[in-house]
Chain A
Amino acid sequence: DAKTTQPPSMDCAEGRAANLPCNHSTISGNEYVYWYRQIHSQGPQYIIHGLKNNETNEMASLIITEDRKSSTLILPHATLRDTAVYYCIVRVGYGNKLVFGAGTILRVKS
């Protein structure tokens, strides 16, 4: 699986958009980009995933660059409850393991 690089931490004001970057310059053509988050010690929560097109769901948007070497997770209106560790993971799209890095600690502040 390709390695990802994320900033260790970010701050965001409540109500503003949170933009979390991820670099995955060695991604292969059949590897998907997945985003998860972990609030305190709860189980990782799936947010969104994509292959090459931008994706949007009720939680977030995922913007993948045309060369697929980086992506950005966007939380359009961050709330205090979005404070968590966010993980960007790339993996081949069949039922195999997720490899978690250290992620980005997002702190949403009022």
Chain B
Amino acid sequence: EPEVTQTPSHQVTQMGQEVILRCVPISNHLYFYWYRQILGQKVEFLVSFYNNEISEKSEIFDDQFSVERPDGSNFTLKIRSTKLEDSAMYFCASNAGENQPQHFGDGTRLSIL
């Protein structure tokens, strides 16, 4: 069964550094998402992406965050200057379209030191 894959599984970065989290969505999917989960808290929506542009973003997704689909397969989340509070699990998801369920990757654990 096709799945969403995320790399790396764990990323350790110094505060203030840039980090790029990578995702390969399911190949025929058209909508892409990033969510995050701070340890012990709820899963929170960050951003959705469709037709090469952001379709919705949350208050968390400020100017330090950006997303890109650089080619036909990858979907990336960049944090320009990381802060301690960016430490979390980051999940990528994708779906094929209306009324279709989102499928999630196993996440990248981001640790900011």
Chain A interface residues toward B at CB < 8 A? 32, 34, 38, 41-46, 49, 87, 93-102
Contact = CB atoms under 8 A, between A and B. Distances in A.
A38 B31 CA distance: 21
Contacts of B45: 97-99
Interface residues of B, number: 31
Interface string B80-110: 0000000001010101011111111111010
B48 A97 contact: yes
A94 B96 CA distance: 10
Secondary structure at chain A's binding surface: helix, strand, loop or mixed?
Answer: loop
A102 B91 contact: no
B38 to A, nearest CB: 11
Interface string B55-83: 11010000000000000000000000000
Contacts of A102: 42
A107 to B, nearest CB: 18
